[in-house]
Structures are given as structure tokens and as C-alpha cells.
Structure 1
Amino acid sequence: MATSNVRFLDPTGAKYGIPTFPWGWSALFNADLRTKAQLRAEGLSIAGLEVAAQLMWRSSRAGNRNGVRTAHLYHRSLARPVRPLTPAQERALARAHLARHTCTRCERVWDVYLPTSNGRQCPPPFGCEQIEAPEGFEHALAVAA
């Protein structure tokens, strides 16, 4: 490994306050540690969990002066399953998705999200007048109702 990664190695937390590992090294010290995105992919939530450790790495996309990015790590064994959506939440989510797919001018439904930059109208090369209504238009309205 590059010597620059070793400077982020602090398994005891003496230097950074919490145990800190270079990118990709946390599994070597504790296989139970996961990032928030990894837990969510496994259907788990970080609700109520304390940060157990952190990853640190150099990056040109850091957005700060020293060019270092961090990611918090949590114990997978302590994470809870994500609560399922209620029927009302599912309906609201379906309506929101339908609104993002529906043209505000001609009310046609598209397979892709319509950007707010053009007022959520039909894509510019076609326009609202030159296209056919997509298949499944009635089905999409029935799901959102």
C-alpha cells in the first residue's frame, strides 16, 4: 500500500478521536463495520447507532483545503431492519413519482423523470405536439390514485 494511506491508520482513536482506517482497511481490523450506504443496501438502518469508526482517504473531490474525505462506520450487528412503508406513505410516494414523470403542459407520462429546468414538460427534441401518448398511461394513473 502507499505510505500516504498509513497516515490515516489510527485503530485506537488516539489521533482522530475515534478509530480511523484508510480506505478499504477497516475489514482487516473489524469485519462488523459498515458504512451507511452498505447498511442500507442490506436493508438495515443506522437509526440510534453511534459512530463506531471512520474511514479517511485523500481525494481531489474532497471540497476542503486538505483534500481528505471521511465516511462514518457503524456496527452491522447493532443495526435494525428498515421500517416498512405504511400504505399511505406508499401512495404518497407513487403520486410523487408520477408527478415527476408527467408533463405539466400535456399531462403525458414518460419513462424518465422530466427535469424542472424545462418546467417538467415533454423533452425538447419532440415537444408536446409531435408525440403519441406512451403505453401504460392509464395504469400509472390508477396506481397513484
Structure 2
Amino acid sequence: MLEVGKKAPDFKLPDQNGTMHSLSEYKGQKVVLYFYPKDNTSGCTKQACSFADLYPQFREKGAIVLGVSKDSVASHKKFEEKYGLPFTLLSDTELEVIKAYDVWKEKKNYGKVSMGVVRTTYLIDEKGVIVKAMDKVKAAENPQDMLEILGGD
């Protein structure tokens, strides 16, 4: 996990519509950057839908939400449409950003060891500096936790 107080690594990734996004284009806004393992799985769906439900409150606080996984642009598009997600999903099929943010880790599942994305959320300030980093977050609670960190209710 990256250190709080450090500059967040910039990136350039396609969203669910194939449009390229970079972190630097969000200068002047707070960014909730969350990494999740896979579209359309139960935990990831809970997390995404919870961010969607709270999205107006994130916008009120001047924050945007970006979700990142190694799923394809097409997979993200289906995920967005199925659940009506109002925020940007970024596709990192090459794992460049996932590795830059140190969320590609060894995971154990039913005794089997494999590499995968550890559910992690970063809050990046208007200057591009990491102000909060949370790893092994609980999918359903993470959006509310982030809103509270932003000064939510």
C-alpha cells in the first residue's frame, strides 16, 4: 500500500466507454480511487452499488469516484449498465496502475494461493497527494467510510 503524504502515481487508463483518463486531469478535485478484484462478483457489486447510492454526496463534497480493476472495457460497460453506475470504471488489463498502487498481492482463498487485487481505497487530495489509504476494506462499508472521511454524515 502506498504511503499517506506521498504523491499519487499518475496513470492513463480507458474507462467503460473506451475514453482515456489520467489522474492529472482531476487536479483541483478530491479523488476516491478504489481498486476491486472483479466486475459482477458479490462483494464488488455491493461496493459499486454503495458508491453509486452515495455518489451525489461524494459530488457535494467535491470528490469524484474512480473504480479500477483488471477487467476489460467491455466487462466494465456491462457492469455499469447492469447496475446503473454513475461513476467511471477504469480498465487496467496490463496491471500497470494496480501494481503502481501496490494492490497486486498474494491472496489465499480456501487454502489456494494466487495473485490478485486486494480491495484497497485511496483518497487523493486536490494536489494529487494521498491523504488516506485503506486496504482489505469491507466492500459494503467502504463507500460510507470514505464519505465520513470526506466529512460526511
TM-score with structure 1 length normalisation? 0.21
**Structure with greater proportional strand content:** 2
Max radius of gyration: which structure? Answer: 1
TM-score with structure 2 length normalisation? 0.20
Q: Which has the higher contact order (CA 8 A, sep 6+)?
A: 2
